[in-house]
């Protein structure tokens, strides 16, 4: 399993992006109070970050957690890409290191 950086939603709640290289699927672990509280993508077959992002707020709502902010969605998207690895992750890393070279005017 490959893990992205955890995203803290409050003092006791965090989400962790995950990529399973065997199944080639993405998921997000929900942690509350230091304990696992659910997995978004356990049953679904998410192969692209957009698949996760389109349904994450519904999963969080069902788990009693607030929806993600726009900034948190952006961070989660990047962490899912980095967890999956490959060319998209390499491009994202280059863009983060030298954003001026990736801006289009």
pLDDT tens digits along 73-103: 999 999 999 999 999 999 999 998 988 887 6
Instruction: Give the global pTM.
Output: 0.90
The DSSP call for residue 1 is: -
Report d(CA 24, CA 11) in Å as an integer: 31
pLDDT tens digits along 7-18: 999 999 999 999
Structure tokens at 3: 């893990």
- Mean pLDDT throughout 51-62? 97
Q: What is the dihedral of CA 77, 27, 62, 56, to 10 degrees?
A: 20
Residues 30, 47: contact at Cβ < 8 Å? Answer: no
pLDDT tens digits along 22-31: 999 999 999 9
Is 36 in a helix, a strand, or coil? strand
From residue 33, alpha-carbon distances to 4, 87, 103 in Å are 19, 35, 40
């Amino acid at each position: 399993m490959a893990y992205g950086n955890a995203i803290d939603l409050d003092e006791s709640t965090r989400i962790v992006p995950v990529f399973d290289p065997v199944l080639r699927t993405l998921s997000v672990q929900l942690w509350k109070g230091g304990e696992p509280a659910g997995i978004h993508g356990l049953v679904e077959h998410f192969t692209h970050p957009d698949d996760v992002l389109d349904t994450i707020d519904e999963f969080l709502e069902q788990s009693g957690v607030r929806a993600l902010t726009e900034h948190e969605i952006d961070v989660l998207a990047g962490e899912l890409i980095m967890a999956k690895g490959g060319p998209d992750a390499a491009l994202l890393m280059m863009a983060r290191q030298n954003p001026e070279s990736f801006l289009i005017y």
